[in-house]
C-alpha cells in the first residue's frame, strides 16, 4: 500500500496538494527547482503542524530514494508548468525511476505531451497518468476535483489515494473517476478550462450589463448574483457565488476592490499556449462549433493588450461608448439576464461535451459522461448543481455514443433552452442598443440558432463557392444530410455587360 508520495513542483497548487496528502496520513517528500517555493512549502507545513509529514528534498534522486523504502509502486506527483518543464522533470527523475513506478501529472498539461511521455516511458515499464485537477489552490488544499487518465491498471492502483483526498459531493462520494486511456484525463481538464472560460466571459458580460448598463452599485450587483445562486437554474454555481463576493469585497479604505481591477486578462505562461488556446485549436480542427468558448477566449486575448485598445479608442473617438440601458421594468430585465446566463452556461457545457464526444470518437476513449460530470460536480471551478443534475440525466450513453446524436437533440435540454431563448434574445437586443460588450452571450444565441436551423445563410455561401471554385453543392430537399461535399455543379454565368467580379 502506498504511504509515501513524491511531489515535484510546489507552487500554489503543489504546496497545497502536499499539505492535503499529508493531512490524510501520507508522507510527502517534495522537490522544486525554486528554493523560495521549497522554503514557502516548508513554512506552510510548519504553520499547520504537518512538517514531519511534508519534507523537502535536495534532488530528484533523493526524492525517489525517500519515497522508495516500503512503498511499491512509487508514486510521484507533478504540479508544474506544462511543456518543457515537465520534460525536464522527467529527465531529472528518469535515472532514479524503476519499473512499475507511477508518475501522476496533476499539471495543466497538453494531452499530446502526456501521450508522448506515456510512449517514451513505456519501454521502462513506468506509467504516466495525466490527471486534471480543478478547483484552484483552495480546492487543492480542501479537496479538488480530479480526472485521471492513462493506463487503467496504473490508475486503479492509486485511485484509493485520490478518493481519499478528492472533493466529496453532497452524498460524500469522491469527485474522482477514471476517465479513459491515453491523454484523456488531461484532455478533459483542458475542456473543463474551456468551459470555465466561456462561463467566466458570460458572467463578466452580465456583470457589465448590471453595473454599466443598469447602473447598479457593486453591492447591488453582488446581491443580484447572490440571489441567482439560490435560484434552481443557477443554484450552487461556484463562479456566480464568488462573483457575489467579488462585488462586495472592500479594502481597508472601504473602496471596492473590483473597482480598481484592470480589465485585461493575460495568459500566464506563454500567450500562444495554455488550456484555453488548446481548446480552441481542438474545436477548430474537429470542426466542432464551440462558439461561446472560442469567443470568450478571443475576448480574453483582445483584453490583454490594453495599450492597443487605448490607441484605437482615441481613433474611434468613443463613438461606441456604452450608454445606460433604457428598460421599462428593471426587475424583469434582471430576471431575463439571469435566464440568459443560464442559457449561455448550458451551451458552454453542450459545446464542451460535444467536442469531447468528437475527440473520443477519433481516439476510441469511450468516455463515461455521467461519471465525468460527477467529477466536476464538486471541487471544480465549473461546479453548478442545477446545471450538473440536468446534464447528468441527459448524458446517457446511447446519445453520447460516437455515432449518437449528441445532447442538443435531447427533449429535456431543448425545453430548458427554449424557455430561456427569448430572455437571451431580449438581453442581446437591449445590450446592443447600449453598446454593451457581449461576445460570449451573443455568440451563444447565434450558436443555438444555427445549430437548430435547416435554413442557414450558408445556402448562399455554397452557391458562391460553386460559382468561383467548382465547389459542388447538394440540391435542397434531395441531397444527403451528412457532412459530405455536394455532388451537383452549375456553370454560373456573369450577367451580360458587367465587367468586374
Ligand atoms: C482550475 C482552473 C485552473 C485555472 C487555470 C487557468 O480548475 O482550478 O481551471 O486550472 O483556471 O489556472 O489559467 P489560465 O487560463 O490563465 O492558464
DSSP bridge partners of 176: 146
Q: What is the number of the ligand 1 atom nearest to the C-alpha of 381?
A: 7
Q: In the chain, where are the structural domains located?
A: 4-182, 189-451, 456-501
Q: What is the mean pLDDT of the chain?
A: 93
How much distance in Å is there from the Cα of 274 to the middle of ligand 1? 9
Q: Assess whether pLDDT exceeds 80 at residue 268.
A: no
381 lines ligand 1 (CB under 6 A): yes
489 in Cβ contact with 470 (< 8 Å): yes
The three cell numbers of residue 479 are 441531397
For 313-341, write each residue's pLDDT tens digit.
888 877 888 999 999 999 999 999 999 99
pLDDT band at 282 (very low <50, low <70, confident <90, very high): very high
Interface pTM, i.e. ipTM: 0.95
Q: Which residue's CA is the nearest one to ligand 1's atom 7?
A: 134
The three cell numbers of residue 35 are 528554493
Q: Assess whether pLDDT exceeds 80 at residue 214.
A: yes
Q: Assess whether pLDDT exceeds 60 at residue 203.
A: yes
Catalytic positions, please?
A: 189, 196
427 in Cβ contact with 337 (< 8 Å): yes
How much distance in Å is there from the Cα of 193 to the middle of ligand 1? 6
The three cell numbers of residue 28 are 510527502
Instruction: Select from 1.10.10, 3.30.710, 1.20.5, 3.30.70 the CATH code of 456-501.
Output: 1.20.5
pLDDT of residue 71: 52
Tell me which CATH code domain 4-182 carries: 3.40.50.720
Distance CA 313, CA 164 (A): 53
Do 189-451 and 456-501 agree at the fold level? no
Q: Assess whether pLDDT exceeds 70 at residue 69.
A: no
Distance CA 131, CA 189 (A): 8
pLDDT of residue 395: 79
DSSP bridge partners of 133: 146
267 lines ligand 1 (CB under 6 A): yes
For 82-140, write each residue's pLDDT tens digit.
999 999 999 999 999 999 999 999 999 999 999 999 999 999 999 999 999 999 999 99
Query: Rounded to 5 degrees, what angle do the CA atoms 215, 218, 224 make?
Result: 85
Mean pLDDT within 235-246: 97
Largest CA-CA distance found in the chain, in angstroms, rounded:
89
Mean pLDDT within 279-301: 97
pTM: 0.95
Tell me which CATH code domain 189-451 carries: 1.10.1040.10
How much distance in Å is there from the Cα of 493 to the middle of ligand 1? 54
Amino acid at each position: 500500500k502506498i504511504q509515501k508520495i513524491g511531489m515535484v513542483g510546489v507552487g500554489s497548487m503543489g504546496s497545497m496538494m502536499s499539505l492535503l496528502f499529508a493531512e490524510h496520513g501520507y508522507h510527502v517528500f517534495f522537490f522544486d527547482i525554486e528554493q523560495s517555493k521549497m522554503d514557502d512549502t516548508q513554512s506552510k507545513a510548519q504553520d499547520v503542524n504537518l512538517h514531519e509529514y511534508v519534507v523537502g528534498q535536495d534532488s530528484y534522486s533523493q526524492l525517489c530514494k525517500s519515497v522508495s523504502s516500503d512503498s511499491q509502486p512509487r508514486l510521484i506527483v507533478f504540479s508544474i508548468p506544462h511543456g518543457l518543464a515537465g520534460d525536464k522533470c522527467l529527465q531529472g527523475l528518469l535515472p532514479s525511476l524503476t519499473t512499475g513506478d507511477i508518475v501522476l501529472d496533476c499539471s495543466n498539461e497538453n494531452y499530446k505531451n502526456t501521450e508522448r511521455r506515456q510512449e517514451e516511458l513505456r519501454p521502462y515499464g513506468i506509467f504516466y497518468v495525466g490527471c486534471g485537477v480543478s478547483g484552484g489552490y483552495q480546492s487543492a488544499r480542501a479537496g479538488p476535483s480530479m480526472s485521471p487518465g492513462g493506463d487503467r491498471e496504473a490508475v486503479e492502483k492509486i485511485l484509493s489515494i485520490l478518493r481519499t483526498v478528492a472533493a466529496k459531493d453532497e452524498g460524500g462520494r469522491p469527485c474522482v473517476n477514471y476517465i479513459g486511456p491515453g491523454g484523456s484525463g488531461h484532455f478533459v481538464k483542458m475542456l473543463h478550462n474551456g468551459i470555465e472560460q466561456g462561463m467566466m466571459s458570460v458572467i463578466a458580460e452580465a456583470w457589465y450589463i448590471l453595473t454599466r448598463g443598469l447602473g447598479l452599485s457593486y453591492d447591488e450587483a453582488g446581491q443580484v448574483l447572490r440571489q441567482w445562486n439560490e435560484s434552481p437554474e443557477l443554484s450552487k454555481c461556484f463562479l456566480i457565488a464568488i462573483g457575489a463576493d467579488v462585488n462586495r469585497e472592500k479594502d481597508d479604505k472601504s473602496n471596492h476592490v473590483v473597482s480598481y481591477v484592470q480589465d485585461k486578462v493575460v495568459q500566464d505562461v506563454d500567450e500562444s499556449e495554455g488550456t484555453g488556446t488548446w481548446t480552441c485549436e481542438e474545436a477548430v480542427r474537429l470542426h466542432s462549433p464551440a462558439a461561446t468558448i472560442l469567443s470568450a477566449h478571443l475576448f480574453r486575448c483582445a483584453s490583454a493588450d490594453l495599450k492597443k485598445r487605448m490607441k484605437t479608442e482615441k481613433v474611434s473617438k468613443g463613438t461606441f461608448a456604452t450608454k445606460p440601458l433604457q428598460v421599462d421594468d428593471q426587475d424583469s430585465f434582471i430576471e431575463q439576464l439571469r435566464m440568459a446566463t443560464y442559457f449561455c452556461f448550458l451551451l458552454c457545457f453542450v459545446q464542451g461535451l460535444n467536442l469531447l464526444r468528437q475527440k473520443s470518437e477519433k481516439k476510441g476513449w469511450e468516455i463515461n459522461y455521467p461519471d465525468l460530470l460527477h467529477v466536476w460536480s464538486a471541487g471544480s471551478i465549473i461546479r453548478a448543481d442545477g446545471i450538473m443534475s440536468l446534464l447528468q440525466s441527459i448524458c446517457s450513453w446511447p446519445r453520447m455514443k460516437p455515432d449518437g446524436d449528441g445532447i442538443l437533440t435531447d427533449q429535456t435540454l431543448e425545453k430548458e433552452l427554449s424557455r430561456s431563448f427569448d430572455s437571451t434574445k431580449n438581453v442581446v437586443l437591449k445590450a446592443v442598443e447600449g453598446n454593451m460588450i457581449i461576445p460570449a452571450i451573443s455568440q451563444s444565441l447565434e450558436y443555438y440558432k444555427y445549430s437548430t436551423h435547416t435554413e442557414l445563410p450558408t445556402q448562399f455561401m455554397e452557391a458562391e463557392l460553386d460559382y468561383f471554385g467548382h465547389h459542388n453543392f447538394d440540391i435542397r430537399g434531395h441531397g444527403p444530410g451528412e457532412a459530405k461535399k455536394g455532388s451537383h455543379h452549375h456553370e454560373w454565368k456573369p450577367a451580360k455587360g458587367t465587367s468586374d467580379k
